[in-house]
Amino acid sequence: MGSLFTNDYSETCRKEILDAIAAVGCGQNRGYGLDRHSENAEKLILKRFGVDDGSVFFTAGGTQTNMTVLSFLLKPYEAVLACNSGHINVHETGAVEASGHKVVTVPGRDGKVLPEEIEAAVKRHCDEHMVKIRAVYISDTTEVGSVYTESEILKIREICDKLGLLLFLDGARLGVALTCAANDIKPELLGKICDVFYVGGTKNGLLFGEAVVFKDKALAEEFRYHVKNRGAMLAKGFVPGVMFERAFTDNLYFDIAADTNRAAKYIGDNLRGKVEFLSEPVTNQIFVIVSREKGEALMREFGCELWEDRGGSLVVRIVTSFATTKDDCDRLLGFFNK
Amino acid sequence: MGSLFTNDYSETCRKEILDAIAAVGCGQNRGYGLDRHSENAEKLILKRFGVDDGSVFFTAGGTQTNMTVLSFLLKPYEAVLACNSGHINVHETGAVEASGHKVVTVPGRDGKVLPEEIEAAVKRHCDEHMVKIRAVYISDTTEVGSVYTESEILKIREICDKLGLLLFLDGARLGVALTCAANDIKPELLGKICDVFYVGGTKNGLLFGEAVVFKDKALAEEFRYHVKNRGAMLAKGFVPGVMFERAFTDNLYFDIAADTNRAAKYIGDNLRGKVEFLSEPVTNQIFVIVSREKGEALMREFGCELWEDRGGSLVVRIVTSFATTKDDCDRLLGFFNK
Amino acid sequence: MGSLFTNDYSETCRKEILDAIAAVGCGQNRGYGLDRHSENAEKLILKRFGVDDGSVFFTAGGTQTNMTVLSFLLKPYEAVLACNSGHINVHETGAVEASGHKVVTVPGRDGKVLPEEIEAAVKRHCDEHMVKIRAVYISDTTEVGSVYTESEILKIREICDKLGLLLFLDGARLGVALTCAANDIKPELLGKICDVFYVGGTKNGLLFGEAVVFKDKALAEEFRYHVKNRGAMLAKGFVPGVMFERAFTDNLYFDIAADTNRAAKYIGDNLRGKVEFLSEPVTNQIFVIVSREKGEALMREFGCELWEDRGGSLVVRIVTSFATTKDDCDRLLGFFNK
Amino acid sequence: MGSLFTNDYSETCRKEILDAIAAVGCGQNRGYGLDRHSENAEKLILKRFGVDDGSVFFTAGGTQTNMTVLSFLLKPYEAVLACNSGHINVHETGAVEASGHKVVTVPGRDGKVLPEEIEAAVKRHCDEHMVKIRAVYISDTTEVGSVYTESEILKIREICDKLGLLLFLDGARLGVALTCAANDIKPELLGKICDVFYVGGTKNGLLFGEAVVFKDKALAEEFRYHVKNRGAMLAKGFVPGVMFERAFTDNLYFDIAADTNRAAKYIGDNLRGKVEFLSEPVTNQIFVIVSREKGEALMREFGCELWEDRGGSLVVRIVTSFATTKDDCDRLLGFFNK
């Protein structure tokens, strides 16, 4: 099987990550994330994101994280607002609803929630016959590969403050978001304006694992009870601890992301003018509009996923990962040059 | 820090497991457990447990597994029966209840559910004003380190058949259960009599992961939807797939367990007559009754957990793991010989 | 306080209903809906709606009924489809989601779900990363006072059959729906094509209570367990039993509805040409587009609810009930003639 | 059918209650419990129970009330403690668990929770691997007809204060509890020491309905959202409002209860010495130990429920209600004198 452009979670992990696990050997660690590696990883992450008095918890995957955090933040009659394309709305098989909460949706634009949509939705939900919107869910990158600008995210924070809402950022692909050319958000800003966000490991070169960051320790009080209650507490919590400790040492986390973006940029730059993009690619997801024949070949030969069937043409998604090589890219470009 | 006897999930994993992950390199795999490693691991596990037409799914941890399986098997008004000491009743922070289901408890004996308790409980729950008992939860080893005999488990199956109940076995420590001297249950029997059981990886030398086995494919229909709905589906599902594939190649899974038991037996044999046991140790958990002073030293120096405070004396738990060495054991024995 | 046009649940109940309760005196009845009145009411309702082998259960209110029925019909990862304006989507404070299920929404038209929307939504939800749509929720009348035609509802049934979906009809205002001039659906049809529907009592002249009808006894198996599990089983279940028994004797239920519609028609006919309607009124809800000044007076003097603020003008809702008199209507018409 | 002693919810309601509903006529009322009758009933109830700054909400039934209140008070990982015989533990088909919360049980004595059991249970639940006990559920009368003394309930309050627990009292039969000879608790005391309690209407001569009392308005903030979210908000909330307004006018509520107790006392006094009691009867439930033959006749002729089958003898429950007459009692006594 040649290399594929299916997604960014097809390969095990970066070598440094596996080496870090191996380096632990059979040394003993406290269970449930109370070990020294997890503690150190917490410190490194808090520092990198400019959080002074927060907390970090490690979970196994994205849907689990979204559901665990949101069901912790919300009372039974409270809801989270997301845009239609939001992962929690579309691709989590109702996990947030299964935890008891409605996802109130707005159209958004380019995968991003608009501040005015938040205000209008909260205004519309005016009494006890409707859910109470209490949190806003955004993702960076969004599900369509776009990124928020500093100005956009600051406006969302502003409206959240005005309306008394919590802001939760899904960072499954936070690495490629913060290292792409289109980004002007500093990591330190996120630690100031998101009540909770998570730093994705699964899609950024780790074996698995996400790091949930609470801006304020106080908000995270008893979160460990909730994590366990949701089945999200790992007995060997030190395993993601070790991986995140390594990822946030020597800037590895962002280096991995930068490599991932670099491969995508190389493809994008070489395709520009030759193929139509659904939108200008900025991170590691490139959506190309091609003929049905070409699209089907892309899916068959490169494992690309179909994004949209437009009848005559197809929108197909190309994704790079930490493991994508220049050879992989050239082979893909060769396909387009045929 | 010297070696500890805190539990069997303090160390990363057996070398063979990490080697297997490394061997995958950056080869690409389908996501969500649909990869070749997971498929192969499924075949190996089904074969080992004598299951002809079943299914296997990989999850990240024990509480998650118990909650996900039980909330799949039960309708909203149905309950699971467990004994008081059952993990789902005591040590999962209400995860099963959080999924909406009552855990009906019976006293049990030595951590084991008695067939007559099942029958009496079902008889007592006689109309729609009480929950309907639909499943029985047992664990092997039990939470107190004991194991079921073939005769005991066959009687439970018989009563389940009579009453139309599903039998679910928590095998967090199934390895040490099936390889200990007191065991007379063949793996192949479990595949015949448990509707669902799980084969624990976390406490048997893997980095993480449990393998959920359904005896009948039909019962597992749409289980993938449910796994995703509970946040339990790993994007890199191939990671536990690779680990379980290796564990069920060349009998590694049971070799690890046998090593773990061997260390415990060595300790038990050398302590017998010198220290009082809470019950005769049969697997990798040894409960010793010692003076308060000695017990506190055991906890301090060997990381042992307090099991019961009896005022004048303490019951303290000693646990061996895949990584316990003879030197570790001798150091512990030296402590008792002081 | 003069008479109001706020809604159809502002008054206690029709005299015949209270008389029926009084007639029971202190005679004794079995609890939990197992009494003779409930049994008789069940027979009368099944007969009236052409159900041969179904079941009827009495509950206290609409939101409770929707949530109880849907959480009974759906597995944890299954969802119900409704149109945006659907009561379960907007005005139940997330009760369905609180029971664990996503409400998948489609735009609909005039408060009604379109068959093609159902097909498209089911097609879009194609794998286990998305909820599985299993039921369709419609309401008759809809939340905007419109009614389904026989042709429309038959097409919905057809698409449900094709896709293996259950059809659930919210009949909070079923009386006025089936007795209005625009209706061409016979009660007996509903008993053939809805898997479950409920006959609303609260908004049709009863003190409280809804009658849930299952077309097939088999589908209702163990529903009593579920009703109790949701807190929806009344100890004095005979009270709604007595009321529904009376309502379905001598056509009272539909007479009440016809009276309610008659009052609305009288208002509508006299306003036609003088006031702009949001849509042609067909049942007991009339939406008028009036100047801000007039709208505010309507709300102040007649308790009407604001439906939409269009800046310069307001859309205001006028609702008649079983208790609306000709005098009430004339007073309202006088207001418009001022 | 002659009069029965099955339970206290077999008859519709006291005449005064129905008269009060009739007296409302077709006057209009605000929906959802915001009407004048509900407001007045709230004032009367708060005053009677000595609550200065609390809130009252009306619901339809007991299980609904317990589930709605507890799921409002508890975070997802928090649990309620009850004694084994507690209604929420045995006879609510897992409604509390369906709302996501574990019911931690203690043996209790005579249907009552003991303060020392609370303390021991909280101490045992010591970390995030176990649920956090946050509320204590007691019932007065208990499920076995006994009542708390002032001294007992004050000790429970004291332990709750010490441990930071909320105290919730299920008052399904609060009327007979507070008016029986064995009671020394003043209504005003309950308003001081219970964080939340409910005053049962269904079993005390109303058509249906329970009044939930919060001691502090602050604790009840947003409870209306939660009530709606649970499907427990009645559109015609004024109906229970009218009934409770009447019940708490001219002491009717307690007069009904006193009548109910009087009938039971008359039976008890006349049976004493002739029949063996399971425990000395104090309220409207009398448990007699009789021969199998006599017990079966009691069940057949008087609708009594079997409480316990002791092989040779049966324990059978006799319950009086607001509608029990002296003739009914004499007929029953006649049976015993045969």
- Structural domain includes residue A285: yes
Q: Which pLDDT score is estimated for D3?
A: 66
The share of chain B scoring above pLDDT 90, in percent, equals 96
Helices (H), A35-84: 36-48, 62-73
Same domain, B143 and B283: no
Same domain, C37 and C124: yes
C3 band by pLDDT with thresholds 50, 70 and 90: low
Contact B128 C77 (CB under 8 A): no
Query: Which of A71, B92, A196, D93 shows the shortest CA–CA distance to C98?
Result: A71
**Is A293 within the bounds of a domain?**
yes
Residue B300: which residues within 8 A CB-CB, separation 6 or more?
Answer: none
Q: A311 exposed, middle or buried (CB, 10 Å; 0-12, 13-18, 19+)?
A: exposed
The sheet carrying C313-319 orders its strands as C276-277, C285-291, C313-319, C305-309
Q: Do D208 and D296 belong to one domain?
A: no
Does A170 reside within a domain?
A: yes
Do residues B64 and B39 make contact, with C-beta atoms less than 8 angstroms apart? no
What digits encode the pLDDT tens for the residues A278-308?
999 999 999 999 999 999 999 999 999 999 9
Q: What is the full DSSP assignment across C70-138? A: HHHH--TTEEEEEETT-HHHHSSTTHHHHTT--EEEE--BTTB--HHHHHHHHHH--STTSPEEEEEEE
Query: What number is the average pLDDT over the span A230-248?
Result: 98
- Looking at the structure, do residues B136 and B261 belong to the same domain, yes or no? no
Q: Do B93 and A225 touch (CB under 8 A)?
A: yes
Q: Which of C30, C68, C77 to probe the B interface (max B CBs under 10 A)?
A: C77
The predicted-structure confidence for D296-336, as pLDDT tens digits, reads as follows 999 999 999 999 999 889 999 999 999 999 999 999 999 99
Mean pLDDT of A20-46: 96
Closest CA to D180 of D208, D140, D151: D140
Chosen from D59, D72, D92, D93 to mutate, greatest number of chain C CBs within 10 A: D93
Q: What percent of chain A has pLDDT over 90?
A: 96
CB atoms inside a 10 Å sphere around CB A222: 14
Q: How confident is the model at residue A43 (pLDDT cuts 50, 70, 90)?
A: very high
Nearest CB to B228; choose among C129, C226, C230: C129
CB atoms within 10 A of CB C36: 15
Please spell the DSSP secondary structure of A262-309, one letter per residue.
HHHHHHHHHHBTTBEESS---SSEEEEEEEHHHHHHHHHHH-PEEEEE
Instruction: Compute the distance between CA of residue A279 and CA of residue A284 in angstroms, rounded to an integer.
Output: 13
Helix (H) and strand (E) counts in chain D: 14, 11
Q: Is D264 on the interface with B (CB under 8 A)?
A: no
Q: What stretches of chain C adopt beta strand conformation (E)?
A: 55-59, 78-83, 103-106, 132-139, 166-171, 196-200, 210-214, 276-277, 285-291, 305-309, 313-319
> Alpha-carbon distance A200 to B112, whole Å?
41
Angstroms from A229 CA to nearest CA on chain D: 6
Judgement on whether residues A274 and A231 belong to the same structural domain of the protein: no
Contacting residues for D79 by C-beta, under 8 A, at least 6 apart: B94, B97, D101, D102, D103, D104, D125, D131, D132, D133, D134, D135
Query: D91, exposed or middle or buried, with CB in 10 Å at 0-12, 13-18, 19+?
Result: middle
Q: What backbone torsions phi and psi does residue B97 show, to the nearest 5 degrees?
A: -65, -40
What predicted TM-score, i.e. pTM, was given to this entire model? 0.97
- Are B277 and B241 in the same domain? no
Measure CB to CB from residue D100 to each of B90, B100, B131 and give the nearest one.
B100
Q: Do C19 and C56 belong together in one domain?
A: yes
Residues A28 and A157 in one domain: yes
CATH of the domain at C99: 3.40.640.10
pLDDT for B315 beyond 80: yes
Contact: C128, A93; criterion CB under 8 Å: yes
Min distance D136 CA to chain C CA atoms (Å): 20
Torsion of CA B53, B57, B61, B67, to 10 degrees: -70
Do the domain assignments include residue B47?
yes
Inform me whether the C-beta atom of residue A62 falls under 8 Å from chain B C-beta atoms. Answer: yes
Are B97 and D102 in contact (CB < 8 Å)?
Answer: yes
C126 shares contact with chain D (CB less than 8 Å): no
What's the CATH number where D269 sits?
A: 3.90.1150.10
Nearest chain C alpha carbon to D302? C28
Say if residues B202 and B172 touch (Cβ distance below 8 Å): yes
pLDDT in tens, D89-120: 999 999 999 999 999 999 999 999 999 999 99
Distance CA B261, CA D238 (A): 68
Percent of chain C with pLDDT over 90: 96
With respect to residue D320, please indicate whether it lies within any of the assigned structural domains: yes
Claim to verify: residue A180 and residue A320 sit in the same structural domain: no
β partners of residue D300: none
Same-domain pairing of B78 and B191: yes
Q: Specify if A10 maps to a domain.
A: no
Are D174 and D200 in contact by the 8 Å Cβ rule? The answer is: yes
Closest chain A residue by Cα to residue B224: A93
What confidence tens digit (pLDDT) does each residue in C293-315 have? Answer: 999 999 999 999 999 999 899 99
Q: Find all residues with CB under 8 Å of D202, minimum gap 6, and list them.
A: C234, C235, C236, D9, D61, D62, D172, D208, D209, D210
Question: How many CB atoms within 10 Å of residue A84?
Answer: 14
Q: How far apart are CA D186 and CA C185, in angstroms?
A: 59
Across chain D, mean pLDDT equals 97
Q: What is the mean pLDDT of chain C?
A: 97
Token pair for B73: 């098997």
Quick count: other Cβ atoms within 10 Å of Cβ B328? Answer: 19
Least confident of A211-215, A248-252, B277-281: B277-281
Q: Are B225 and C71 inside 8 Å of each other by CB?
A: no
D2: in domain: no
Are D229 and A76 an interchain contact pair (Cβ–Cβ within 8 Å)? yes
Percent of chain A with pLDDT over 70: 99
Q: Is residue B20 part of a domain?
A: yes
Say how far apart CA A318 and CA B3 lie, in whole Å: 48
Average pLDDT over residues D143-152: 97
Q: Tell me which chain C residues have a C-beta less than 8 angstroms from the C-beta of B68.
A: none
User: CA dihedral in degrees (C224, C228, C232, C238; nearest 10)?
Assistant: 60
Q: Structurally, how many domains does chain B consist of?
A: 2
pLDDT digits (tens, 9 = 90+) for C148-194: 999 999 999 999 999 999 999 999 999 999 999 999 999 999 999 99
- Which of the listed residues A183, A215, A247 is the one where a domain comes to its end? A247
Which residues in chain A have their CB less than 8 angstroms from residue C92's CB?
A: 129
Strand order in the sheet with D166-171: D55-59, D210-214, D196-200, D166-171, D132-139, D78-83, D103-106
Identify which of B128, B132, B226 has the shortest CB distance to residue C77: B226
pLDDT at C80 over 80: yes
> Considering only CB atoms, which chain C residues are within 8 Å of B77?
222, 225-226, 228-229
Q: Clarify whether residues B315 and B224 are in a common domain.
A: no
Q: Are strands B166-171 and B132-139 parallel, antiparallel or unpaired?
A: parallel
- Of D224, D247, D270, which closes a domain? D247
| Structural domain containing residue A294 | 257-337
Q: What is the predicted ipTM?
A: 0.97
Average pLDDT on C34-42 reads 98
Question: pLDDT category, B26, cuts 50, 70, 90?
Answer: confident
D226 vs A72, A77, A229: nearest CB: A77
For B76, the closest of C129, C132, C226 (CB atoms) is: C226
Interface of A with B in 233-252 (CB under 8 A): 233-236, 238-239, 242
Poorest-confidence range of A180-194, C1-15, C211-225? C1-15
Q: From the CB of residue D167, how many other CB atoms can be counted at a distance below 10 Å?
A: 22
> pLDDT tier at C210 (50, 70, 90 boundaries)?
very high
D77 with B98: Cβ contact below 8 A: yes
Q: Cα separations (Å) of B193 from A275, B83, C120, D279? A: 58, 19, 43, 46
Residue A1 has what pLDDT? 43
Contact in structure between A49 and B275 (CB atoms under 8 Å): no
Q: Is D75 on the interface with A (CB under 8 A)?
A: yes
For residue A139, pLDDT beyond 60: yes
Give the pLDDT mean for B259-288: 96
Residue D2 pLDDT > 60: no
Residue ending a domain, among D213, D247, D281, is: D247
Residues 5-44 of B with CB under 8 A from C: 32
- Put simply, the answer to whether B132 touches C225 (Cβ < 8 Å) is yes
Sign of CA dihedral D191, D193, D197, D200: negative
State the pLDDT at residue A3.
67
Residue C62: per-residue pLDDT: 97
Residues in Cβ contact with B269 at an 8 Å cutoff, skipping those fewer than 6 apart: none
What does the block give as tokens for D27? Answer: 């006057």
Quickly list DSSP for D4-37.
Answer: --S-S-SS---HHHHHHHHHHTT----STT-SHH
Q: Do the beta carbons of residue D233 and residue D32 sit within 8 Å? A: yes
pLDDT at B1 (0 to 100): 43
Q: Which of D86, C117, A106, D7 is nearest to B102 (CA)?
A: D86
Q: Would you say C207 and C61 are in contact if contact means Cβ atoms under 8 Å apart?
A: no
**A10 in helix, strand or coil?**
coil
The predicted structure's pLDDT at residue D1: 43
Q: In what order do the strands lie in the sheet with A305-309?
A: A276-277, A285-291, A313-319, A305-309
Are residues D150 and D178 both part of a single domain? yes
Return the pLDDT at A174: 98
Q: Which band of pLDDT confidence, cut at 50, 70 and 90, is reported for residue A204?
A: very high
**Rounded mean pLDDT, D280-293:** 96
